[in-house]
Structure 1
């Protein structure tokens, strides 16, 4: 459904105030995607008579309430891996100095 929405937005932002199913299908087929006629019809039914700018503004306000803290733990794990990778280098240096 995201591809259909993206095609609709491309058409609307490109100057077509009311993109048709054919317009959406043309955009999708231009990049090798076959449009699902049911999804296109569902989208057109949902946006019928609505201003695209109001739809986008409404969506942005909903996204603002979505928490975005999920990426922090993975970032911490990456730096621990980098520290572990440096440990063998230090051991190798100690062995070299002991041999001399």
Structure 2
């Protein structure tokens, strides 16, 4: 996924046909180890294709993905009310950690 994202970033920046070096440059800028086989696979699969058409096609495919069934969310509260009362556990005190401005909230852009 990170290779496709780098390809799309390069294409959106104006490079109509991104090559391996532009993808590597983007990935290296965020500290991702680049695997040449993956770079070449993305380039070969997307060569000659319009980014706009790929996005449009992908969006239509996402629209057909089913969401969680409506009955599943409605039955969860009912099941919880029928369960025997559990012991109340005292909430654990969380240590407050000072956050710096440059933390990535536990995940990176290309993880």
TM-score, normalized by the shorter chain, greater than 0.5 = yes
Partner SS state of residue 10, structure 1: helix
TM-score, L = length of structure 2? 0.62
Mind listing any 5+ residue stretches in structure 1 that lack a counterpart?
82-87, 89-100
Equivalent residue runs for 1:21-100 within 5 Å: 21-69=20-68, 73=72, 77=76
Which ranges in structure 2 are unaligned for 5 or more consecutive residues? 82-87, 89-111
* TM-score, normalised by the number of residues in structure 1: 0.68
Q: Which has the higher helix share?
A: 1
Following TM superposition, where does structure 1 have runs of at least 4 consecutive aligned residues deviating by more than 3 angstroms? 72-78
Cα distance, 1:4 vs. partner?
0.3
CA-to-aligned-CA distance 1:29-76 (integer Å, 9 cap, x gap): 000001111111011111111111111111111111101226x85797
Matched residues, number: 83
1:17 maps to: 16
